[in-house]
Each structure stands twice: as structure tokens, then as C-alpha cells.
């Protein structure tokens, strides 16, 4: 089978497409999947550069989330998955290959209403954003939500979910063209470009909220954007720490006096651990999300699709911030 491999750590250009042996038969609690599509995410870039908290042994293929067909079922699989089922799987890595093994407990049925590409683009971003906004922030109807990195995968999912929670969203990003795209896709009224020097974005947010600030701030960026967020959060607001895309090597520090003055909270969001610690709650979250999707209430956006032999370009598109929403590698072209 074909696989896009990381054989030495480095940028996307260091990956190689090779013929490799098919995976071994599934072991205890595992299933073998024929991969139909694989989502491309920012952590994939960190993984191939050895900058992520998880470090698979070399060689490996990146790709944390896949959608495909169950080709074989190992012993001890107790969640009802059978050969031939369409599933979404969260696997951490080994997605940029034509077949892969997955723990059955990390698989969910792919709804009949959802195609493979959408399924591969859905779990990480929508699972993270729903957990953040509902479980961690308890976002209420009528509250104002500021989404940093609003044109990326988790950002667009947060905007999409916010519409269904009845929250008012302000989309913040670094590109006017991409912000205009999310304005059209998700009906966002207010946007803020934090890359412009005309006005500090904290001032723009405070002006848009009549000086109150944002009740919930969704931050997958970190860096200077986080420092600005500390200064435009509302009284008793919640700042969701989702990631550090701006600079993972130099994590931002929070001045505690700013939290005290606003009575605000810093709230960590680690969706991957949440799915392991509370699998039943995670499953209920997906029941809600899949129901919304079937009812036409969610609009997952895929701006770029690539074949497996174009996987390097797929990762480069994410690295160069060309993607609005998600980028997907589709095995069948």
C-alpha cells in the first residue's frame, strides 16, 4: 500500500511517498480501516517536526483523523463495529496511508448523511470546539464569543457551533480576505484583523462590545493575541486556552492582576484527554453534533482537497495559512 512517511523530522518537504507493507491483522480491541479520507491539521506539522507532545517512532505517517471502511475486526471489539461499517477514527498518526489500524473505542459511526471527506474534517475540530464552548465555558445564549484564529479549522467550527448556541460571535484573524470568507459562510457580523497596526485589536473588541468585552474568548493562537485577549475579556469572562499556533516554543504568560480585576478565568481545553477520561460524555457530544449536521444546522467548510500523492502540498497549505476551515487528503482522488 502507499503511505506518506516521516522518516526524519523536518518540514513537509522532508516526507516521502513509499510502498509499505499492509498493517498486521487487527489485535485485541482493534479494527483495520481502509482509509477514504484524512483530515490535515496544524498538529500534523508539529508532529513531523518533533514539536508535539506525542512522539511516534520513526518512520510514521502523520494524519490524526480518518474516515473510511472497516476492513477487518480484531478480537474483543465490544462497541458493535462490524466489517464493512463506515466510521470516523481518531488515531493520532498513521492517517496518510491507504490502510491503518485503529482502536475500536476511538471510532464512531460515520452518519449516512455525511461523506468521507467531511467526516475526516469533523472530529478534531468540532469535537474540540464543542467541548470548549459547552463543557468548559458553558457558553450561554446571548453571550459574546470572541474567536481567535477564526478562519482555521477549530476557529470555523467554533463559529459554526456558536450559531447553534445562540451566542454572538466576533471573528478575529490575520487576513481580511479569509475573514470575509467566514463572514459569508457563517453569517458573522463582526470581524477583527489583529495583524493590522491601525488599532490594537483589544480596543476594537471593546468598542464592538460597548466596553464590556467578550464573555468567552476562544484562543488556539497564544502569543501576542493572548495578551490582547486578557485585556478585552468581560467581567466574569472565560478565556479558553485551546492551543499555541503563534509560537509553541514560547508560551504566553498571564498577569494574574488582569484576571483578578475582571473576575475572569483561564480555562484549559485538552479535548484528546477528555475523550479518554470521559468517553460517554464525548459520545453524547457527537450525538448532538451529528444531529445538528443531519438537520442542516452545521456547515463544515473544506477549502482544499488533495490526493495522497499531493500530501506534502496539503501540509504546506496548512503551514502557509492558505486554508479556510479544513484541508483534507482524499485517497480516491
Q: Is residue 173 situated within a structural domain?
A: yes
Same domain? 43 vs 108 = yes
**Distance from chain centroid for Cα 179:** 18
Residue 297's nearest CA partner among 200, 189, 161, 171 is 161
Same domain? 82 vs 107 = yes
Q: pTM of the entire structure?
A: 0.92
Same domain? 196 vs 106 = no
Q: Is residue 83 a contact partner of residue 72, using CB atoms and an 8 Å limit?
A: yes
Same domain? 153 vs 231 = yes
How is residue 206 written as a grid cell? 471593546
Helix (H, G, I), strand (E, B) or coil at 18: strand
Q: Is residue 288 situated within a structural domain?
A: no
What are the angstrom distances between the C-alpha of 40 and each of 65, 71, 261, 265, 306? 8, 23, 40, 31, 10
> Domain range spanning residue 164?
126-272
- Round to whole Å and give the CA distance between 236 and 37: 42
Here the CATH number for the domain that contains residue 309 is 3.90.180.10
Q: Is residue 266 situated within a structural domain?
A: yes
Same domain? 131 vs 263 = yes
- Mean pLDDT by 10-residue block, N- to C-terminus, for the chain (333 residues)? 96 96 95 98 91 87 96 92 95 95 93 95 96 98 96 96 97 93 94 82 91 96 89 96 77 88 94 90 95 96 96 95 95 72
Q: Is residue 294 situated within a structural domain?
A: no
Same domain? 89 vs 36 = yes
Other residues' Cβ atoms within 10 Å of the Cβ of residue 304: 18
Task: Read off the pLDDT of residues 228-241 as tens digits, 9 standing for 90 and up.
Answer: 899 999 999 999 99
* pLDDT of amino acid 197: 62
- Round to whole Å and give the CA distance between 192 and 196: 9
- Round to whole Å and give the CA distance between 217 and 228: 11
Here the CATH number for the domain that contains residue 144 is 3.40.50.720
Amino acid at each position: 500500500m502507499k503511505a506518506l512517511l516521516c522518516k526524519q523530522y523536518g518540514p513537509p518537504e522532508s516526507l516521502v511517498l513509499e510502498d509499505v507493507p499492509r498493517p498486521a491483522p487487527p489485535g485485541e480491541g482493534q479494527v483495520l480501516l481502509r482509509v477514504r479520507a484524512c483530515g490535515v491539521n496544524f498538529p500534523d506539522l508539529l508532529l513531523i517536526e518533533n514539536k508535539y507532545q506525542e512522539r511516534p517512532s520513526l518512520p510514521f505517517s502523520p494524519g490524526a483523523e480518518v474516515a473510511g471502511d472497516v476492513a477487518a475486526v480484531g478480537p474483543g471489539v465490544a462497541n458493535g463495529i462490524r466489517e464493512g461499517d463506515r466510521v470516523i477514527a481518531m488515531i493520532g498518526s498513521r492517517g496518510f496511508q491507504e490502510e491503518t489500524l485503529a482502536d475500536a473505542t476511538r471510532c464512531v459511526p460515520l452518519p449516512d448523511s455525511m461523506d468521507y471527506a467531511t467526516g475526516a474534517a469533523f472530529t478534531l475540530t468540532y469535537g474540540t470546539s464543542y467541548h470548549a464552548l459547552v463543557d468548559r465555558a458553558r457558553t450561554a445564549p446571548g453571550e459574546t464569543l470572541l474567536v481567535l484564529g477564526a478562519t482555521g479549522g477549530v476557529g470555523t467550527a467554533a463559529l459554526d457551533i456558536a450559531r447553534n448556541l445562540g451566542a454572538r460571535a466576533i471573528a478575529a484573524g490575520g487576513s481580511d480576505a479569509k475573514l470575509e470568507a467566514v463572514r459569508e459562510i457563517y453569517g458573522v457580523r463582526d470581524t477583527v484583523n489583529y495583524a493590522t497596526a491601525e488599532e490594537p485589536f483589544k480596543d476594537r473588541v471593546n468598542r464592538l462590545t460597548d466596553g464590556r468585552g467578550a464573555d468567552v474568548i476562544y484562543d488556539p493562537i497564544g502569543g501576542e493575541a493572548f495578551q490582547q485577549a486578557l485585556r478585552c475579556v468581560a467581567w466574569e469572562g472565560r478565556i479558553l486556552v485551546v492551543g499555541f499556533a503563534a509560537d509553541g516554543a514560547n508560551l504566553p504568560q498571564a498577569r494574574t492582576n488582569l484576571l483578578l480585576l475582571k473576575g475572569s478565568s483561564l480555562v484549559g481545553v485538552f479535548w484528546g484527554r477528555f475523550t479518554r477520561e470521559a468517553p460517554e460524555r464525548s459520545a453524547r457530544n457527537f450525538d448532538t453534533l451529528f444531529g445538528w449536521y443531519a438537520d442542516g444546522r452545521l456547515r463544515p467548510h473544506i477549502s482544499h482537497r488533495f490526493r495522497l500523492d499531493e500530501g506534502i502540498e496539503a501540509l504546506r497549505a496548512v503551514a502557509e495559512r492558505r486554508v479556510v476551515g479544513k484541508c483534507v487528503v482524499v485517497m480516491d482522488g
